[in-house]
Amino acid sequence: MKIKTEKKDYQIIGAKSKTFSVDTNDTMVIKLLRDKMYKNKIGAVAREISSNSRDANREAGRGDSPIVISIETESNLLSSEECSITFQDNGVGISPERMENIFLKYGGSTKRDSDKFTGGFGIGAKTPFAYNDNFFISTIVEDSGVRTEYLYQAIITSDGNSEVSRMIELGSSTTTEQTGTKITVPLKSDEDRIKFEKEINFVTRFWTTQPIIKNFFSRESGDQKGNVLFEDDVLISYQEDSDKELFNSDIKIVALIDEIPYPINHKTLENEIGVKLGLSNNSRVKWVLKFKTGDITVSGSREDIEYIEQNLKTIHNTYLSFLKIGRGLIADFQSKPTNYLEACKYTETLQTYANRYYNCDLVVGDYSVGYLEFLGEVASSIGKQAEQEKDNNDIYSRNSLNSLIFFDFEGEMTVNSFNFNTIHIDDFSLDNNGRMVKNKGYRSSNALSEKWDKTKFLLDTPKVEPTRNARLKLDYADKGYVLIKKLTHAQYDNTQYKNISLPEFTRLQKQDEKLYELLNVETTNYSDVEKLRKEKSESKGKRDIVKVNVRVLSKVGYEQKWVSASINYDKKGETFVNEVSDININTLETEVTGICYVSKDKLSDFKSERYGQTINGLSKSLDSVRKILLANGVQTIGISNSKLGYFKNVPTMQEALSIVIKKDKSNNVINCIKSTVIENSGLHQTKLLSTLKFDKKLKGSIERVGKLYDEVGELKKVNLSVKTMLNIFKNNINTHFLTTLNIELDKEFENDLKLANDCLVNNPLLKLILNIKSTSDYGGYRIDKNSKEFKDIESVLSDNLNLR
**Within a domain: 5:** no
Judge whether 791 lies within some domain.
Answer: no
Vertex 450: Cα angle to 445 and 452 (nearest 5): 70
Highest-pLDDT range among 30-34, 626-630, 764-768: 626-630
My answer on whether 603 and 708 are in the same domain is no
- Is there a single domain that holds both residue 516 and residue 585? no
* Residue of higher predicted confidence among 608 and 705: 705
Question: Among 59-73, 248-262, 587-601, which stretch is predicted with the lowest mean pLDDT?
Answer: 587-601
Average pLDDT of every residue of the chain = 79
pLDDT band at 544 (very low <50, low <70, confident <90, very high): confident
What integer is the mean pLDDT of 680-685? Answer: 68
Residue 479 sits in the same domain as residue 607: no
- Mean pLDDT over 484-488 rounds to 90
Domain finish residue from 528, 554, 585: 528
What is the secondary structure of 373-409 as a DSSP string?
HHHHHHHHHHHHHHHTSB-TTSSB-TTHHHHHHS-EE
* pLDDT tens profile 119-158: 544 466 888 988 998 999 999 999 999 999 999 998 887 7
| Whether residues 462 and 387 fall in one domain | no
Lowest mean pLDDT among 126-130, 306-310, 436-440: 436-440
pLDDT at 161 over 50: yes
Q: Give 769's pLDDT tier (boundaries 50, 70, 90).
A: low
pTM of the predicted model as reported, rounded to 2 decimal places: 0.59
pLDDT band (50, 70, 90) for residue 679: confident
Average pLDDT over residues 373-390: 81
Q: Does 20 reside within a domain?
A: no
Planar angle of CA 259, 301, 32, nearest 5 degrees: 160
Question: Could you tell me if 395 and 476 lie in one domain?
Answer: no
Highest-pLDDT range among 44-58, 164-178, 775-789: 44-58
Residue 436: pLDDT band with limits 50, 70, 90: confident
Of 346, 374, 409, the last residue of a domain is 409
Per-residue pLDDT at 760:
63
φ and ψ at 326, to 5 degrees? -60, -40
Specify if 196 maps to a domain.
Answer: yes
Q: Is pLDDT at 430 greater than 60 in this prediction?
A: yes
Q: What is the pLDDT of residue 12?
A: 52
Task: State which amino acid sits at residue 654.
Answer: Q
Residue 804 has pLDDT above 50, yes or no: no
Task: Please report which confidence band the pLDDT of residue 406 belongs to, taking 50, 70 and 90 as the band edges.
Answer: very high
Residues 365 and 243 in one domain: yes
Domain count, the chain: 5
| Average pLDDT for 597-626 | 79
Which residues are 525's β-sheet partners? 458
Name the nearest CA neighbour of 227 among 242, 238, 219: 238
**pLDDT at residue 4 is higher than 70:** no
Q: Which residue has the higher pLDDT, 406 or 224?
A: 406
pLDDT digits (tens, 9 = 90+) for 686-728: 555 555 566 777 777 877 888 888 888 888 887 877 887 787 7
Q: Is the pLDDT of residue 506 over 50?
A: yes
739, 747, 668, 738: which is closest to 708 by C-alpha?
668
780-791 mean pLDDT: 56
Q: Which residue has the higher pLDDT, 263 or 281?
A: 263
What's residue 124's pLDDT? 60
**534 located within any domain:** no
607 in the same domain as 575? yes
Q: How long is the chain?
A: 804
Spatial CB neighbours of 451, under 8 Å, sequence gap ≥ 6: 425, 427, 445, 482
| Residue 774 confidence class, pLDDT cut points 50, 70, 90 | very low
Residue range 68-95, pLDDT digits in tens: 999 987 655 544 457 899 999 999 999 9
> Is 111 a member of any domain?
yes
Does residue 88 sit in the same domain as residue 38? Answer: yes
| For residues 791-801, average pLDDT | 51
Rounded mean pLDDT, 99-125: 57
Least confident of 427-441, 472-486, 608-622: 608-622
**Is the pLDDT at 290 greater than 50, yes or no?**
yes
Identify the band that residue 411 occupies on the pLDDT scale cut at 50, 70 and 90.
very high
Task: Compute φ and ψ for 15, nearest 5 degrees.
Answer: -140, 150
Residue 233 lies in a domain: yes
Q: Are residues 46 and 160 in the same domain?
A: yes
Radius of gyration of the chain (CA): 36
pLDDT of 306 strictly over 60? yes
Average pLDDT over residues 454-473: 91
Highest average pLDDT, of 46-55, 549-558, 694-703, comes from: 46-55
Please give the average per-residue pLDDT across 459-478, as a whole number.
Answer: 90
Share of the chain above pLDDT 70, in %: 74
Is residue 301 domain-shared with residue 282, that is, in the same domain? Answer: yes
**Residues in Cβ contact with 419 at an 8 Å cutoff, skipping those fewer than 6 apart:** 443, 444
**Is 90 exceeded by the pLDDT of residue 770?**
no
Question: Could you say which of 363, 391, 409 is where a domain stops?
Answer: 409
Can you tell me the mean pLDDT for 735-745?
66
Which amino acid, one-letter code, is at 545? I
- Say what percent of the chain tops pLDDT 90: 30
Same domain assignment for residues 166 and 247: no
Question: Is the predicted pLDDT of residue 660 greater than 80, yes or no?
Answer: yes
* Residue 239 bridge partners (DSSP): 227, 285
Contact residues for 780 (Cβ-Cβ < 8 A; gap 6+): 191, 194, 195, 774
* CATH number for the domain that contains residue 173: 3.30.565.10
In a domain, 485, yes or no: yes
User: β-strand 614-615 against 618-619: which pairing, if any?
Assistant: antiparallel
40 and 122 in a common domain: yes
**How high is the pLDDT of residue 626?**
84
Domain that holds residue 358: 225-409
* pLDDT at res. 299: 86
Number of H helices, E strands in the chain: 25, 30
Confidence class for position 554, pLDDT limits 50, 70, 90: confident
Q: Is the pLDDT of residue 750 over 70?
A: yes
Q: What's the confidence (pLDDT) of residue 485?
A: 92
